Amino acid sequence: MKNFFYLFFKSFLDVVPLVSVLLFFQIFVIGESFQHPLEYLLGLFLVVFGLFLFMRGLEAGLFPLGESMAHSFAAKGNIWWLLIFAASIGYATTIAEPALIAIANKAEIITEGKLSAFTLRNTVAIGVASGIAVGTMRIILGHPVHYYVITGYTLVMIMTLFAPNEIIGLAYDLAGVTTSTVTVPLVTALGVGLASSIAGRNPLVDGFGLIAFAAPTPMITVMAYGIAVL
């Protein structure tokens, strides 16, 4: 129980800045009191409790699972299965991202169905899967991360020159929401676990940076989709 109250992580302190900003603008800028204070307090409690459960779930489940599977694949020495696993993790986590679903649905509504939400989500997920696979290969080879990232964003700039204006901003936003609550924990665990399992790799230097590969590749695939459709 002592550990429970301690973590309840810390979670309350994490939301204090956000609550403070809302209270300041509501009371001192707008100059109005809260109409239903008990409902707001209940909502705040649910937010803190939900954040606590989410973080405990990551620590107890997703992080250890991702690291253990990375260790297992590295121990078996089958690079191709490892790359398939990395790509599958990238695809599956991206397709489940709530923010991606929301933006893709909004894009479909605004374009009156010209851009399909289902197709957009899968296009982004394929881009993330490709990026995570390339990033995993980088960890295996031990190459510096910046060469890959620079190459990726160079391709993004080239694609931006040819993509329709209607798709550019959407592609950038869709790439931004891919690295969110579902994707980050598993991909981070995969990178750190893999770097820890390969001789000569430093988990801090080689393990981190894998999430960066999930940003430029979705921009490229979405803009390619826009070139083909718009």
Q: Which of 65, 103, 87, 205 is nearest to 136 (CA)?
A: 87
Q: Measuring CA to CA, how many Å separate 154 from each of 9, 212, 217?
A: 40, 14, 11
- In the structure encoding, which two tokens stand for residue 214, read together? 């999930």
Going by C-alpha positions, the residue among 109, 89, 107 that lies closest to residue 97 is 89
Is residue 82 domain-resident?
A: yes
pLDDT at 134: 96
On whether both 90 and 182 belong to a single domain, the answer is yes
Q: How many domains does the chain have?
A: 2
Per-residue pLDDT tens digits for 162-207: 999 999 999 999 888 887 777 887 888 888 888 888 888 888 888 8
Note the residue count of the chain.
230
Instruction: Assign 10 a pLDDT band (cuts: 50, 70, 90).
Output: confident
pLDDT tens-digit map of 53-82: 877 777 777 677 777 777 777 777 778 888
Residue 187: which domain range?
77-229
Residue 31 belongs to some domain of the structure: yes
Does residue 26 share a domain with residue 103?
A: no
The answer to whether 137 and 96 are in contact (CB under 8 A) is no
The reported pLDDT for the residue numbered 75 is: 75
- Residues 89, 150 within the same domain: yes
pLDDT at 3: 65
The pLDDT of residue 1 is 65
Q: Is the pLDDT of residue 93 over 90?
A: no
Mean residue pLDDT of the chain comes to: 86
pLDDT tens for each residue of 134-150: 999 999 999 999 999 99
